[in-house]
Amino acid sequence: MNEETDADWIPAGADLSRPSAARIYDYLLGGAHNLAPDREVARRLEAIQPQVAGVARRNRAFLRRVVRFLLEQGVRQFLDLGSGIPTVGNVHEVAQEVDPEAKVVYVDYEPVAVAHSVMLLKGNPHAAAVEADATDTGAVLKSAPVTELLDLSRPIGLLAITLGHYLPEVRGVFAAYRDALAPGSYLALTHLTNDFAVLSDPRVAETMRSTQDNIYPRTKDEVLALFDGFELVEPGLTTSANWRPDRLAAVVDPEADGLYAGVGRKPHAALQT
């Protein structure tokens, strides 16, 4: 018996042979839902770039700020794509602290992440998790958690926080979600790039090639294109720590911060005259 792979948080049938982004990220954030091969990749990434855990923590802090911002804008439903393994400050925790009836659907294709989310959400009638490939927009939008919990005729907060760079073709996917969302909905994302020093070493992408989750860093213009059909809210496209920081002291040099971050709002159609 292998104590680690037989742990009760690992669902039957999960492919543990290759490291996964969900479990590597969990390790970088100090979580306990990762295995030796995931830790090995995380350590290789840290050897290339000691700041990699800092990038992950700032990304997670961005996620929490964005959810609070969207709640302030009146959003009460969230679709969290590539939600990962639950960790401190999950979307439903932040949202339901403000509105206990806020609805949240988590989507991930990594079985450990989904099994753990399902466990955590037991007894919560307003949040659910679905195992699906986020690029299969039809399957996600028609899944029972989405149709039962979310009302797509009303504004949604669509979260794609460190999701886009795992997708080889990304514009069409984001456009399909945009078309399904009501005006007044928001898209919030972070995205890996080689534009800034911290993660631009090609060994980062090379290292991720040994995992289930290849990465595709994109340039500023390529990331901006993901907001097609959305209007970026202030301060526009910036980096995760610098998007509406809680304290000015939290501002970080983009070269060190590393991930593009932004939020866009789907406008109402212009009135025809």
Residues near ligand SAM (CB under 6 A) are 20-22, 25, 59-60, 63, 82-84, 107-110, 113, 133-135, 161-163, 166-167, 213
Q: Which is nearer to ligand SAM, 79 or 102 (CB)?
A: 79
**Angle, alpha carbons 19-83-90 (nearest 5°):** 120
Q: Which is nearer to ligand SAM, 64 or 154 (CB)?
A: 64
Q: In the bound complex, what is the minimum distance in angstroms from residue 22's beta carbon to ligand SAM? A: 3
Q: Which is nearer to ligand SAM, 109 or 230 (CB)?
A: 109
Q: Quote the CA–CA distance of 164 and 59 in Å, as a whole number.
A: 14
Q: Which is nearer to ligand SAM, 80 or 195 (CB)?
A: 80
**Angle, alpha carbons 212-214-216 (nearest 5°):** 160
Q: In the bound complex, what is the minimum distance in angstroms from residue 247's beta carbon to ligand SAM? A: 21
Q: Which is nearer to ligand SAM, 21 or 71 (CB)?
A: 21
Q: In the bound complex, what is the minimum distance in angstroms from residue 29's beta carbon to ligand SAM? A: 8
Displacement of CA 142 from its chain's centroid (Å): 20
Q: Which is nearer to ligand SAM, 95 or 134 (CB)?
A: 134
Helix residue ranges, H only, 143-270: 144-149, 171-180, 202-208, 220-224, 254-257
> 269 by DSSP, 3-state: which?
coil
Q: Which is nearer to ligand SAM, 3 or 112 (CB)?
A: 112
Nearest to 28 by CA among 64, 50, 48, 56: 56
Q: In the bound complex, what is the minimum distance in angstroms from residue 190's beta carbon to ligand SAM? A: 7
Q: Are 106 and 85 in contact (CB under 8 A)?
A: no
Which residue bears the tokens 């009146």? Answer: 74
Helix (H) or strand (E) holding 103, with range, is strand 103-108
**Angle, alpha carbons 197-200-206 (nearest 5°):** 155
For residue 134, the one-letter residue type is: A
Q: Which is nearer to ligand SAM, 165 or 266 (CB)?
A: 165
Q: In the bound complex, what is the minimum distance in angstroms from residue 81's beta carbon to ligand SAM? A: 6
Q: In the bound complex, what is the minimum distance in angstroms from residue 133's beta carbon to ligand SAM? A: 4
Contacts of 270 (CB under 8 A, 6+ apart): none
Which residue bears the tokens 């609070």? Answer: 68
Q: In the bound complex, what is the minimum distance in angstroms from residue 110's beta carbon to ligand SAM? A: 4
Q: In the bound complex, what is the minimum distance in angstroms from residue 167's beta carbon to ligand SAM? A: 6
For 105-142, b where at least 16 C-beta lie within 10 A, e where not — what string? Answer: bbbbbbbbbbbbbbebbeeeebbbbbbbebbebeebbe
